[in-house]
Amino acid sequence: MRTKKLTFLITSGPTREYLDPVRYLSNASSGKMGCALAMAAHRQGHRVIFVTGPAVHASPRGARIVTVISARDMFRQVKKWLPQADIVIGAAAVSDYRPRSVSARKIKKSGVDCTLSLVENPDIIGFVGTHKSRAVVVGFALETADATKRAQKKLFKKNLDLIVANGPRSLDSAKTSACIIGRNGLVARREKITKSLLAGEIVHESLRLHKNNFAD
């Protein structure tokens, strides 16, 4: 029997936090994982809304592409599309902080050290987790130590249904090692598999959870 067509809302890529017209804070996320997730969902006949920061990896075909720059832009777009989403996957490497102020002109060097003041950005997937009604919410946790334990803590703190824990070597690489963790514990541990294969497993598990939680 064919499964019902659902809508996936997927965040992907890095965000950019400008401090002046030419400089920004960001990270090395390529957008490969988000793209692989979008393609896996699309391949199975589902609708995909793909909210992406400025990524080097090409956007997935068949998805509705929503481009953003900063974490706050991404947050606005996620809130806009959220009511349509059955499954939300936060694969974006969102900047946790942004400069307190943005200079309208290029900041000049002055011959002395200076300090950048930062403020926290909104936690997008955390917001989705705590405001969800009939959606399955999946997050990622990139950890440099104690990945599984920290990811599990994050899953409950952000009220997620599933979390994927991986290490910094996943950034901008074709393969990854990861643990998929649900509210009842470990679902799968995968070593050095392609992001495409991992994406297939995440999509499969999120669809299974959606069916279990919201069968009607």
Minimum CB separation of residue 64 from ligand C5P in Å reads 19
Q: In Å, how far from its chain's centre is CA 51? A: 9
User: Bridge-partner residues for 49, per DSSP?
Assistant: 9, 64
For ligand C5P, which is the closer residue by CB, 107 or 144?
144
Choose, from 27, 159, 184, 212, the residue flagged as catalytic: 27
For ligand C5P, which is the closer residue by CB, 107 or 157?
157
Distance CA 186, CA 134 (A): 23
Angle at 13 between CA 60 and CA 198, to 5 degrees: 65
Minimum CB separation of residue 112 from ligand C5P in Å reads 32
Question: At 121, phi and psi to the nearest 5?
Answer: -85, 160
Minimum CB separation of residue 216 from ligand C5P in Å reads 28
Task: Give the DSSP letter of residue 170.
Answer: G
**Residues at the contact surface with ligand C5P, assessed by CB under 6 A:** 11, 71, 90, 92, 94, 96, 121, 123-125, 139-141, 154
- Residue 79 contacts by C-beta under 8 Å, 6 or more apart in sequence? 127
27 is catalytic: yes
For ligand C5P, which is the closer residue by CB, 25 or 71?
71
Enzyme catalytic residues? 27
